[in-house]
Amino acid sequence: MTVRTHTKTRAKGEAAFDEPAEEIDIGPLSRMIGYALRRAQIAVFEDFIASLAEVNLRPAQFSVLLVLDRAPGSTQSAVATALGIKRANFVAMLDELESRGLAERKLSVNDKRSNAIFLTVHGRKTLARARALALQHETRQIARLGDDGLDTLLRLLGRLSAR
Amino acid sequence: MTVRTHTKTRAKGEAAFDEPAEEIDIGPLSRMIGYALRRAQIAVFEDFIASLAEVNLRPAQFSVLLVLDRAPGSTQSAVATALGIKRANFVAMLDELESRGLAERKLSVNDKRSNAIFLTVHGRKTLARARALALQHETRQIARLGDDGLDTLLRLLGRLSAR
């Protein structure tokens, strides 16, 4: 992977100093798993965010709404754990979803120490639209991967995630 | 992917309220490419950070030192662009590397408006040790992927990253 960084537009006869290379070749870094994962994840997330611009949901917010739709009344810690989101980050995210009227905390009947989280009617409607947009995004990514690419990718990613 | 969230320890005869499910099954989310990428990336980064604890370098910091070693004297924008790091984040990262004595900015002879960045002697020594530790990390990840797993994974990730 290379990138153009410097254009040679030196006037004729100008001294030839040691110039920075025109391109930085990142070399072996491009074959490091963590680096390649991060670049792909950023590219896919950028497409996701652009695809869901209409509903203004980032990937993590979308995943929280999906989980609340499947498991209404879950506690904060249950949702955060299931999605691998750090507690502090999750509280801030939930505050935002609540201020936007997409989700609400209610006192849990089972555990007085923790709130149960639910989607609002507006949250469910927004999620329905978000799902349709996310499907378009996902279809594009799958097409990039080619035949059998999705299953192979998910299998390999699963091996890296398992702890 | 499931996670235990609630233990049923109801006393005999206690009313059977609607309880939250014992586990949250995240359902179709686990097959979404962005989600699977992010979980794998976090897992790999956690292993990387633990592996490089001795030199206290995060993945992005390591990648910057690697690039500066390959292309000494590069400008901030060249390095940030090559690595896909946002400008504001990169400036903060470079400030930290400089305060730790690992890298230094010098006035560029070619472009008076931008600094050239170099590793210090301490930076080069630290990078040498970091490389050895990163290799151990990488070897573990490759072993997880199994035969031909690395080449296949990098090929698929490349298809997602290409824009």
CATH of the domain at A73: 1.10.10.10
List, for residues B39-85, the tens digit of each pLDDT value.
Answer: 999 999 999 999 999 999 999 999 999 999 999 999 999 999 999 99
A155 lies in some domain: no
B161 lies in some domain: no
In percent, the amount of chain A with pLDDT more than 90 equals 72
B80 lies in some domain: yes
Beta-carbon separation of B71 and A24 below 8 A:
yes
Could you tell me if A118 lies within 8 Å of chain B, comparing CB atoms?
Answer: no
Cα dist from B16 to A41, A137, B21, B23, B156, whole Å: 43, 42, 13, 18, 49
ipTM score of complex:
0.84
Q: How many angstroms separate the CA of residue A102 from the nearest CA in chain B?
A: 19
A23 lies in some domain: no
A8 lies in some domain: no
Direct distance between the N- and C-terminal alpha carbons of chain B, in angstroms, rounded to an integer: 31
B3 lies in some domain: no
Q: Is the pLDDT of residue B19 over 70?
A: no
B159 lies in some domain: no
Residue A140's pLDDT is: 96
Residue B111's pLDDT is: 66
Could you tell me if A76 lies within 8 Å of chain B, comparing CB atoms?
Answer: no
Q: How far is it, in rounded angstroms, from Cα B81 to Cα B36?
A: 26
In percent, the amount of chain B with pLDDT more than 70 equals 84
> Based on the structure, what is the number of domains in chain A?
1
Give the residue on A whose Cα is nearest the Cα of B77: A5
A153 lies in some domain: no
Boundaries of domain holding A86: 28-147
Beta-carbon separation of A35 and B63 below 8 A:
yes
